[in-house]
Structure 1
């Protein structure tokens, strides 16, 4: 085993390794080797970072020799750990934090007192050196070259290879070396439901499962606009025609119940007929608009009839982002923008662009976690009844995921319809009113995140997301941004620096 000797001289430190000296920078948790003093035979911009765990050896030295009580060092360390975790606002929910003991394994939330008791009783889960579930950044081993990767080191240079191996540089990133975990409660429920729905339609059937058959029938209903009563008759006929017992839903209602259990439902939100507000959150009980005072419900002779005059449908975004990590076909691709090596100077993905790189510089904590999701939003109006019908327009709001490779990120399965703004008129500047549910979810994803299970790496993590940009034509750009795209100051780039022309039509 090679030894690394560290000599500290003020802020400039020297590491002695295999008889050679290297300049380095030491912080509390890591050693960063910058170069040899004479820069002899060193690649440009050489940089190594190794985990520095000596300061946390107390975590796994819980009891005194002979099991005579807890070590004072361990108790002091637990106190410091809990104090540190409690001041991280992003990782505290309702005054509780995740418990990292060997029983809870960062899957359950406990109050700080219970966390201390669990750690005293069972100790920390294995290899939890970096407190990533309690607000600490992951330290990733890395080597940086100018347009070069450490994977391209000359095979004859055993000296450099030995350095890489000794410092753990020929290992996968730290987020790939986590212990295998089971899904958290929500994801576990999803997998159980999915497994139960994957049973054969009847004994011996190989063509369809209960879930696949139900989804096909729901798709047919949507494609051909079949009435619900007709679907009930179809399900009943299928039930009688197929061998008994079978798992064909008895009605359209039963089919909806099966699909809704998978967590991909929708919300119906009443709107002001003039687009002033949504009857949402604290305003959900109002019977009239608090701005224009228009009534919420249609007039009816029936005393208990409450039919809204206008309603929008919202499809929650967070569950669909979580299912991207729950599906084996997409989970491994959600780190593509970070792990895939591309030719420098060639833009084949938004992550190669200046906007993406500028965002990474502005928010390095977010950028350091490759599973954090980058999103774009687009919107445009369309007439659902065609040009010959009565004038009516709808405005879908679509969110696109950009973590995925180019062959996937712009395909239909990964373009998520989040809401449809009802007509019949263009919402114009009131589009923000209809975006409230989406904005609430985006704020949650940016500020606190949600616990998500990554099936490709077999562990849970805190998923966060950021809205990077909008994609739209110029009028929709004005609606989404609030900028006036018509008139004297319509140019958003050269405002105040360009002259305008007034056209007169005769």
Structure 2
């Protein structure tokens, strides 16, 4: 239950965070829980106790001694304040008083908040002491944390050391509050420096306080999650990255990297004309295994596959299972991460500007988590922030280079990660399963333009689009009948579709990854050459480039590489239907040009334009 039990604060207060070992209150609480559980009739009926540990989650029945071992080793499952599976009744909980999802946190105690933040940053690295309980003969073997996890001790020491005896704040909590002032209210740095200096001057514990904003920021940056600033060409031709990091002008358009200096200015730092931000995903994925709330959930997909044929989660889908069959070594480690990527443009300014600005964030989502978690905001990782002011179009691949490089490394080498739920180090690998975008962004990422008569990326050059004589737009009307069964009545209809046309064609073949790779492997990448229109574009193909995603060694083996997001499709469909039914001026699709095209394509009907007395045509 998501309600804090005031008499059960021991439930998630298991270990001494500095010296290790179990707290006496936790040991006493476990003993009382076991005693109550074995005294119930359900213990006799079930032949044991439903284990409420973080791993079993009340799904298995174990002996009393085994349950005790699990609780000491893994702790209680999240938010199990009221043991409803063990005879307790849960009271009504006021939603405003529901605690944080990461277990109970006293929201009035910033010291506790800081401790939980640090705990989530790296994960505890303490050693378990012997339990000393009767019946506990199982030895708990745990691996020591890796080198990155050892950094936890530094932050934990800072978080656990009060500013003075009895204080609820630590140096870390003060630093975070200073940074929050700047973030929430845009307080100038000089003002924060003054506040920090004033605190140091008036407080007797001077060594425990940051002396300025820089020191506060330096301590908090130890939490990990850093970002990188990468200079880029003002036209988006290239990044000053890796072997090109020392260049001072674009190797394609020769635009300068830095803003020209004014005459008379001394030795000041060069200012780049344009710069993107990249947030590495590896430390963010490690953070998921460092938190007690998400580490076990990252294995949810392994034990919760649907057998009913209903798609509840991507792990139930054909694409996921196809990848597992193709790469069994990857699938055998359930902690390996499956990722999805999405991107779209937006205007970051609240007020409309005379000159439009399009900024493109690239968001990566891990799909290991259960459905109620994987699509929520905390688990949508912003990886790239592509600056404007214009749409990057095909050159979006230029900005994706750091992400693709990191994905290649996560696939081939992996990253040593500490899993707090299993107290183990393991090599975490990751794969990008697909992208999710609207139709224009689909073309930008896939390399097949979604404009013109060949816009369909599935049918490719096998579609039968045509241009409307009066409307002047491309139409895919009647391209769908060939997908119907051969004996379907619509295939033989000469009146309900284009007049006097019977469809006997087969649907165009849908190419698999290997076949698509055969078409694009000789097409140049935009990161290698200046982007130019390819020969035959719009006539025999719609390729604009070889997408950078093909650099991933497994990309051709993905069954479903690109997806269209439901939101844009639903919105556009609704807008067109609503505007047409309500006959909204300048937005309806039922206009005079459409009626004139209808008369050419279809059998005569009562929808055709009729002459009016004034010589004009009128819609019936």
- Output the TM-score relative to the length of structure 2: 0.50
What SS does the corresponding residue of 2:217 show, helix, strand or coil?
Answer: helix
* Separation in 2, partners of 1:404, 1:315: 21
* Separation in 2, partners of 1:335, 1:473: 30
The one of 369, 392, 404 aligned to 2:333: 369
Alignment of 1:119-130 (within 5 A): none
The one of 199, 214, 238 aligned to 2:175: 214
What SS does the corresponding residue of 2:425 show, helix, strand or coil?
Answer: strand
Name whichever of 300-309 and 209-218 sits farther off.
Answer: 209-218
* Aligned partners of 1:200 and 1:206 also within 8 Å: no
Alignment of 1:64-463 (within 5 A): 179-189=141-151, 191-204=152-165, 207-240=168-201, 244-245=205-206, 247-300=208-261, 301=263, 302-305=265-268, 306-340=270-304, 342-389=306-353, 390-463=355-428
Deviations 1:362-396 (A, max 9, x none): 21111111000001111111111135224212111
Flag the 1:428–1:225 CA change in 2: closer, same or farther, 3 A.
farther
Flag the 1:200–1:411 CA change in 2: closer, same or farther, 3 A.
farther
* Aligned partners of 1:202 and 1:243 also within 8 Å: no
* Aligned partners of 2:278 and 2:402 also within 8 Å: yes
Flag the 1:310–1:351 CA change in 2: closer, same or farther, 3 A.
same
* Aligned partners of 1:179 and 1:459 also within 8 Å: no
* Aligned partners of 2:305 and 2:316 also within 8 Å: no
Deviations 1:60-118 (A, max 9, x none): xxxxxxxxxxxxxxxxxxxxxxxxxxxxxxxxxxxxxxxxxxxxxxxxxxxxxxxxxxx
Flag the 1:205–1:332 CA change in 2: closer, same or farther, 3 A.
farther
Alignment of 1:7-18 (within 5 A): none
Flag the 1:483–1:209 CA change in 2: closer, same or farther, 3 A.
farther
* Aligned partners of 1:337 and 1:404 also within 8 Å: yes
* Aligned partners of 1:202 and 1:246 also within 8 Å: no
1:256: how far off? 1.5
Higher strand share: 1
Which one has the largest radius of gyration?
2
User: Any unmatched runs of 5+ in structure 1?
Assistant: 1-151, 153-176
Flag the 1:484–1:307 CA change in 2: closer, same or farther, 3 A.
same
Flag the 1:242–1:342 CA change in 2: closer, same or farther, 3 A.
farther
* Aligned partners of 1:202 and 1:244 also within 8 Å: yes
* Aligned partners of 1:373 and 1:464 also within 8 Å: yes
User: Any unmatched runs of 5+ in structure 2?
Assistant: 1-58, 60-138, 473-592, 594-620
**What is the aligned-residue RMSD (CA, Å)?**
2.4
1:407: how far off? 1.9
Deviations 1:457-495 (A, max 9, x none): 112111100001111111111111112011111111222
1:217: how far off? 3.5
* Aligned partners of 1:193 and 1:262 also within 8 Å: no
Name whichever of 227-236 and 381-390 sits farther off.
Answer: 227-236
1:223: how far off? 3.2
Alignment of 1:17-32 (within 5 A): none
* Aligned partners of 1:265 and 1:315 also within 8 Å: yes
Flag the 1:234–1:187 CA change in 2: closer, same or farther, 3 A.
same
1:198: how far off? 1.3
